[in-house]
Amino acid sequence: MKRTQSFLGLVLLFSFQSIFFAQNTPPPSFEKYPADVYAGKPAPLNLRSHRLARMFRTSIREQLHEEGINFAGHYTVAVMGCGTGCSIAAIVDARNGRAYFPQVFEGWTSEIGDYQFSEGEDIRTFRVNSRLIRVVGRPRISADERWGASGIYYYEWKNNQLRQVHFSPAGSYLRADRP
């Protein structure tokens, strides 16, 4: 019994240490996620690539034209509003016109409480020559208006998917909404 308690104590200690160090590690840099920039002519938006591509086609096409390739070498990040403080983002591949709508960006909210944006800081920060995207806010975690913890999220775009690589708590809503 005593050995089991000692073992459980060590497991808990290492768990708390890993959480503490994960939150206190410096955020990733854009340079650590390089991307080669595409120099070809961008393909038109493929409306059959995703059900939301057709719904938001006008806004996406405008952003493709105005922004051009602005993310991960050959993609355009296009953002559409879905209500007060709410947005949906598409990531469109310039090589084939295919639109991706990462689930984490479907219903993203920038309403995070007492967080003060710095001068010139945007909700989303990304670069044409990097696969890293930095987003301030809360991801929507269910269809019934619930959101995750508020903070600064870092995602890597790889194989046409986003993978969270870092999180820094920020704002007033440091816990996810309960069901």
20 located within any domain: no
**pLDDT for the residue 111:** 86
Q: Are 170 and 150 a contacting pair, CB within 8 Å?
A: yes
In terms of residue numbers, what domain contains 157?
29-169
| Rounded-to-integer distance, Cα 4 and Cα 65, Å | 62
Count the alpha carbons within 13 Å of 1 in the hemisphere toward its beta carbon: 0
Summarised one tens digit per residue, pLDDT across range 45-84 is: 999 999 999 999 999 999 999 999 999 999 999 999 987 7
The stretch 4-21 carries a mean pLDDT of: 42
Summarised one tens digit per residue, pLDDT across range 84-116 is: 778 999 999 999 999 999 999 999 998 888 888
150 located within any domain: yes
The number of distinct structural domains making up the chain is: 1
What is the percentage of the chain residues whose pLDDT exceeds 90? 66
45 located within any domain: yes
Mean pLDDT, rounded, of the chain: 87
DSSP strands (E only) in 9-116 = 75-83, 86-93, 99-100, 106-109
Q: Indicate the helix (H) or strand (E) that contains 7.
A: helix 2-24
74 located within any domain: yes
63 located within any domain: yes
